Structure 1
């Protein structure tokens, strides 16, 4: 269940003057971003835009200058266990021991709720069952993680993140290895979470899926180029621009979709060659 704070914060997550480096290279440049509670925001941009780095900054997993606030409180001021109960994370290429059962992997999401060395409570077992059923992984609960395909593993790791029952969920490329039906299931699941008051932030390469979110944050070259509703024409123009006009945002079946433009960009005109002397 989502906790009920005495006063709803203006932002579920906010970043102020965020700059992040990888070695000597700046990956993010002076990012200011405020994400409203109870909404789904997708972070989108071309390869190397800094999307995953920004998500890691919001999760407190990446060092940076500037500040991040979670529910109106500085992220650094949250006790670790309380923060882990409030903010759930699913990263790229997440791993768990292959010999753990699917059930035990999902139960890892309940660790922030458990006292040191305490056995799982009935609430823990109920949360794990709910998460595994939501990702259609319940039937594999006794199988070892190492026996699963890539898509099946992804669904189990998603269940681990859901089992936390956090108010804010951050997911980096959650559709990786999922086939189209399970991508659609993920979309429906996110919409259900938001309808129950959770805040979801996802990094997605699939622009058409990103357009099903409430809001989109568009990054390019480590800078925030646009943040707005996925329904706004300005958001569509920003997406087309950062992808060099190689996509077109159009509407079909009541949804906004990104279609590829198949023509190649015009090559630059050659400069005049100097005459060759004999």
Structure 2
């Protein structure tokens, strides 16, 4: 238990009364990056929301060895940061103000940002290469630029556990590479990252992988494990093949 950051046990969840997750058992290690992968409708985003405490479920979710429900709201927000899919922020807010929202769990109600808050936001904006836009309104940015600002908001929390749902949306290949390197740096510092990804080749760069299909776990294991590759090929109906290229595992369309 001391090496587990997040654990789901027997988790079931529904959306609009339709069952989505069916008895999910999964654990995510401290200081590791885990990717959640599967076909459309597998329940990936639903599971991530359950892990974040954003959706009700049966079964149990534990964060750092404690029931997630036992965390007071502020403490949970300090411990677990969330970057959701297609999140919206007011277009008239500046980039600086959006990133500063990540510091709210660390501040008293209506308190002004401290020097530590400002330093955390600057570090987050610089790490996502959004620092030069800090005075621009969010509405003036492209989709990819907005995504980098929202990532900076999540990083500004400085939480030990970070959950990200489709964080590569609208990012071009160079910035996808930047995101991968950023995640690797976070993990090297002891953070835990769990990401839902459609980009299977990038998901394969993680330490661990959870493969879902039809709301059930089909496989959990190391990304470099041949059993993981076999499970991936199966859930995608043998339409992809996992190959090793330049010391990396990648997914190629099977033509």
Identify the TM-score tier after normalising by the shorter chain.
Answer: over 0.9
1:157-193 deviation line (CA, Å, top 9, x unaligned): 0000000000000000000000000000000000000
1:175 paired with 2:159, answer no
Cα distance in 1 for residues equivalent to 2:140 and 2:30: 38
Corresponding residue of 1:23: 16
Q: Would you say how many aligned residue pairs link Structure 1 and Structure 2?
A: 255
1:86 to 72, 75, 79: 79
Corresponding residue of 1:98: 91
2:217 to 186, 203, 224: 224
1:53-74 deviation line (CA, Å, top 9, x unaligned): 0000000001110110000000
Cα distance in 2 for residues equivalent to 1:23 and 1:146: 32
Corresponding residue of 1:159: 152
Q: CA deviation at 1:22?
A: 1.2
Q: CA deviation at 1:23?
A: 2.2
1:236 paired with 2:240, answer no
Corresponding residue of 2:117: 124
- Look up the SS of the partner of 2:21 in the other structure: strand
Cα distance in 1 for residues equivalent to 2:73 and 2:16: 27
1:72 to 33, 57, 65: 65
Corresponding residue of 1:5: none
1:214 paired with 2:207, answer yes
- Look up the SS of the partner of 1:213 in the other structure: coil
Give the RMSD, CA atoms, in angstroms.
Answer: 0.7
- Look up the SS of the partner of 1:12 in the other structure: strand
Answer yes or no: is the 8 Å Cα contact 1:10–1:72 preserved in 2. no
Corresponding residue of 2:140: 147
- Give the TM-score, by structure 2 length: 0.99
Corresponding residue of 1:268: none
Answer yes or no: is the 8 Å Cα contact 1:11–1:37 preserved in 2. yes
1:245 paired with 2:254, answer no
Answer yes or no: is the 8 Å Cα contact 1:219–1:225 preserved in 2. yes
Cα distance in 1 for residues equivalent to 2:109 and 2:145: 30
- Look up the SS of the partner of 1:241 in the other structure: helix
Looking at CA atoms only, which structure, 1 or 2, has the larger radius of gyration?
1
Corresponding residue of 2:35: 42
Cα distance in 2 for residues equivalent to 1:140 and 1:116: 27
Cα distance in 1 for residues equivalent to 2:81 and 2:244: 32
- Look up the SS of the partner of 1:153 in the other structure: helix
Corresponding residue of 1:58: 51
Corresponding residue of 1:189: 182
Q: CA deviation at 1:9?
A: 2.0
Q: CA deviation at 1:10?
A: 2.8
Answer yes or no: is the 8 Å Cα contact 1:167–1:199 preserved in 2. yes
Q: CA deviation at 1:117?
A: 1.0
Cα distance in 2 for residues equivalent to 1:133 and 1:35: 28
Q: CA deviation at 1:241?
A: 0.3
- Give the TM-score, by structure 1 length: 0.91
